[in-house]
Amino acid sequence: MKPMKIVATSQQSRFHTETLDIASGEIDLKDVTIAVGERELLTDTRLKLKEGIRYALVGRDVDATGSRNGTGKSTLLQALSDKLIPGLSKSLRIVLVSQVTDSTRNEQDSANSEDISVLMHVVHGDKQRGEAMKEFEELTLAVEATSLAKTQRIVSEITLLRLEIELDDARKVASRTSGARGKKARAEEIKAEDRVKEANEKLMQGKIEDNVMDQASEMLTDVTTTLELLDASKTEARAATILVGLGFTQAMMDSPFKSLSGGWRSRCALATSLLVQSDILLLDEPSNFLDLDATLWLEHYLISQTRTLVLTSHDQVFLNNVVEETIILRDKTLRYFEGTPREYDIDERKRRKAAAKTQNALDKKKEHIERSIRQGLSSAKQTGDDNRLRMVKSRQKKLDERWGAETSAKGTRFKLNRDMAGYHLTARSGVEMEDMEPKVKINIPNPEKLRTAGDLIHFENISFKHRNAPKPMIEGVSFTVEQGGRCAFVGANGQGKSTIAKLVLGELLPTKGTVVRHPLLKIGYFSQHSVEELSMVEKTTALGYFLDHFEQKGTKVPEIEARAFLGTFGLGGKISSDTPLALLSGGQKVRLAFALIVFQPPSLLLLDEVTTHVDAPTIQALALALRKFTGGIILITHDRSVYLPSQTPFPVIYADMDDRWFSRVVVEGSSLSAAGAVGDDAEDDEDLSSSEDDEEGQHPGKIGRTYRVGGGKVKLLENGMVQYVNMVERRLEKRRAAETKLG
């Protein structure tokens, strides 16, 4: 299924400075509207990016089910990258890296790369440098040529290539516009076609121009300047530094690109976007496939950038550490806050508390005035006091016409003629208080209790070695997960955490040692492959896929039951029955894949990166649902943004742990504050902790262990995640010191 066309408009006039094609990294466009098909994602809003500022783009819209995914963040970034919004400068260099575009790009690159190394793949990703280097080589030959015919041919070929690029850009603009702008764009396209035709004819004729050597020299000078500005001589060194920071070894950089898995190819795409020089860098969920080492390195790298950055991420710790300001997409408009998303949430809560306090005071004051009116009216009727009656009428008029906020939005005393323009039923506005976003809730059914006692999983001196591998992937691994127990496995990618998970599943058999499973153990497995499989389906809907899935397994699920169950995962209404799977957001596909696993609840859940693509409120809801789940859980995740309450009544194996405090709460039993799940703000701490107190179910008191997986060994970390994070940070600090020393 082809993606729906993005249609973007903005305020256009020759009097507006934002329509001028100036070389500036700033964007300031009014009345921006963006739609996909018939659905408007932004309506008459202002798009503003200040040069050199690092922005977080967060969504605060929710649908009837409480879903935050699909609010339009990725579409906005795509519209910016493709320059679909009228008024964007043609000279503005914008680079986007996203999960959707990466997969398409990687397939194309894999087909065209042959045996190109990973390092050169990233270097060649800098298209501007590649084109400039090619022109430099050809123009050098042209200047040094003894034959004017050869010089003329090279100059004509390069001129034609440049004009063809201009024509391609003109065609893209013409295809995206309509009306008066479309007519003008089509005229520019025709002019570009004529220039290409003329240049092609000149090349075919081969006529030598009198000033051809001057043209070649001038073009060579321009290209040389471009290469100097791009710092082309250091491109390979910079690419290698970025790749090392993202976790690549020298052997991996020298290996063929086509040998990489999807996750490492995504890292390559990220490396290319960091390498390419641009005015604006757009990153859509860049930390999804990064381990802790790479994520910490990326934080440091992005903070050091001087270009404008727009970043989306469900990893709230990563987001808050990197950005300076926040763009909030809510109610189809963009709002701007000078601070991090966390600071915005704290500020929003404080403003809501202040508004509630003001409203409460107004309500009490109004109640007092109404009581005095009733008493005054009764007294006036009894005594016939006209003055008292006039006072009663005056107070009633104030309630009817002039009641409301006593201060303006700026905090100044309310002025009737200044603070409310236009026609209103009352002379004062009420206290503004935005509706709170509905809390996302997910309900996971519990499995039947195992009829016999015994440990869920027991590993005894396990070793595993791939065929023809020089040494084992893991060796001498022993641990036990009893019913109600928990443990965490942490470490960089590729160290064997997934191997341990596959040994738990039984997909791999140990080379040495014994794996003992409970005889009644049933495992439900979730991985990103589950989401990828859903992405391949084109014609059916979530509801249709859900029904077909269980029918193929011999279970006919009533449609009404399926609708109700999908609704508990934020997939109710038209989302499940009318929206094709291909148009669901990544988070919605994750929820569908998860629903398929738990509809017939297994006694053990193995969840591999279940938080990828899912917004933070949904992850919190999933966490609280898992808290009540009475079966076992094996959790493999890259998300560091969300907490699970520390009291959880089920066994957990926490693998692929890339967050800084999540394991401390879930496995090690720390409180939210002690684990760093909340900030320094006292009120903020109280608000976040209260959600834990409100939830039912308490952990029986077992504290799990945290193991580090690396170098084929599994070692117990006495101080858990704190010890592991400190190890990673010290290692990165040494690397940065070495890089600084080398210059």
- What pLDDT, in 10s, does the model give residues 63-89? 433 445 557 888 899 889 888 888 888
Using alpha carbons, select from 473, 525, 462, 474 the residue that is nearest to residue 653. 525
Shared domain for 136 and 196, answered yes or no, is yes
Rounded to two decimals, the pTM is 0.70
Burial of 323 (0-12, 13-18, 19+ CB in 10 A): buried
Q: Are residues 715 and 636 in the same domain?
A: yes
Q: In the sheet where 474-481 sits, what is the strand order?
A: 474-481, 457-464, 512-517
Number of domains within the chain: 4
Query: Residue 460 has what pLDDT?
Result: 93
User: Is residue 330 assigned to a domain?
Assistant: no
The domain that contains 504 carries what CATH number? 3.40.50.300
Q: How far apart are CA 73 and CA 75, in angstroms?
A: 5
Domain for residue 23, yes or no? no
Residues in CB range of 639: below 8 A, 6 or more apart: 314, 315, 611, 612, 614, 619, 658, 659, 662
Q: Where does the pLDDT of residue 271 fall: very low under 50, low under 70, confident under 90, or very high at 90 and above?
A: very high
What is the structure's pLDDT at 298? 92
Burial class, 502, CB count within 10 angstroms (exposed 0-12 / middle 13-18 / buried 19+): middle
User: Do residues 493 and 610 share a domain?
Assistant: yes
- Please check whether residue 247 lies inside any domain of the structure: no
Does residue 374 lie in a domain region?
Answer: yes
Q: Is residue 137 assigned to a domain?
A: yes
Q: Are residues 350 and 217 part of one domain? A: no
> Is residue 364 packed enough to be buried (19+ CB in 10 Å), middle (13-18) or exposed (0-12)?
exposed
What average pLDDT does the segment 129-154 reach?
A: 85
Is the same domain home to 621 and 475? yes
Least confident of 234-248, 311-325, 649-663: 649-663
- CA-based max dimension of the chain: 118
Per DSSP bridges, beta strands 94-97 and 632-636 are unpaired
Residue 277 included in any domain:
no
As given in the structure block, the two tokens for residue 453 are 């006692």
- Quote the mean pLDDT of the chain: 77
Q: Both 561 and 685 in a single domain?
A: no
The pLDDT confidence band at residue 440, using thresholds 50, 70 and 90, is low
How many helices (H) and strands (E) the chain has is answered by: 26, 19
The tens digit of pLDDT for each residue in 49-59 reads: 999 999 999 88
Integer angstrom CA distances of residue 595 from 248, 543, 567, 638: 35, 11, 10, 20
Q: What is the pLDDT of residues 349-375, one digit of tens each?
A: 888 888 778 778 887 887 887 788 888
Place of tokens 């704190």: 722
In a domain, 144, yes or no: yes
Other CB atoms within 10 A of residue 416 CB: 10
Q: Kindly state whether residues 145 and 205 are assigned to the same domain.
A: yes
- The span from the first CA to the last CA of the chain, in angstroms, equals 49
Domain closes at, from 390, 419, 448: 419
Mean pLDDT lowest for which of 239-248, 345-354, 602-611, 680-689? 680-689
User: Which burial class, exposed, middle or buried, applies to 453 when counting CB atoms under 10 A from its CB (0-12, 13-18, 19+)?
Assistant: exposed
Are residues 136 and 171 located together in one domain of the fold?
yes
Bridge partner residues of 524 (DSSP): 605
What average pLDDT does this structure show over 120-134? 84
Residue 427 within a domain: no
638: nearest Cα among 334, 291, 249, 135: 291
Given a cut of 70, is residue 728 above it in pLDDT?
yes
Mark which of 197, 229, 261 sits at the end of a domain.
Answer: 229
Do 665 and 726 sit in the same domain of this protein?
A: yes
Residue 481 DSSP SS3: strand
Report whether 517 contacts 460 (CB < 8 A): no
Residue 629's pLDDT is: 77
Element (H, E) at 168: helix 148-176
Task: Give tens-digit pLDDT for 179-212.
Answer: 666 677 788 888 888 998 988 888 888 888 888 8
Instruction: Give CA separation, 28 vs 327, 338, 682, in Å.
Output: 14, 16, 37
At 318 the pLDDT is 85
Q: Are residues 636 and 730 in the same domain?
A: yes
- Output the DSSP codes for 384-418: T-HHHHHHHHHHHHHHHHS-S-SB-TTSSBP-HHH
Domain that holds residue 468: 457-522+605-641+648-742
| pLDDT at residue number 518 | 92
| N residues, the chain | 743
- Which residue did the predictor score with more confidence, 330 or 439? 330
Q: Are 607 and 653 in contact (CB under 8 A)?
A: no
Last residue of a domain, one of 419, 443, 473: 419
For residues 174 and 222, membership in a common domain is answered with yes
User: Are residues 708 and 611 both part of a single domain?
Assistant: yes
**Section 39-63 average pLDDT:** 85
Q: How confident is the model at residue 480 (pLDDT cuts 50, 70, 90)?
A: confident
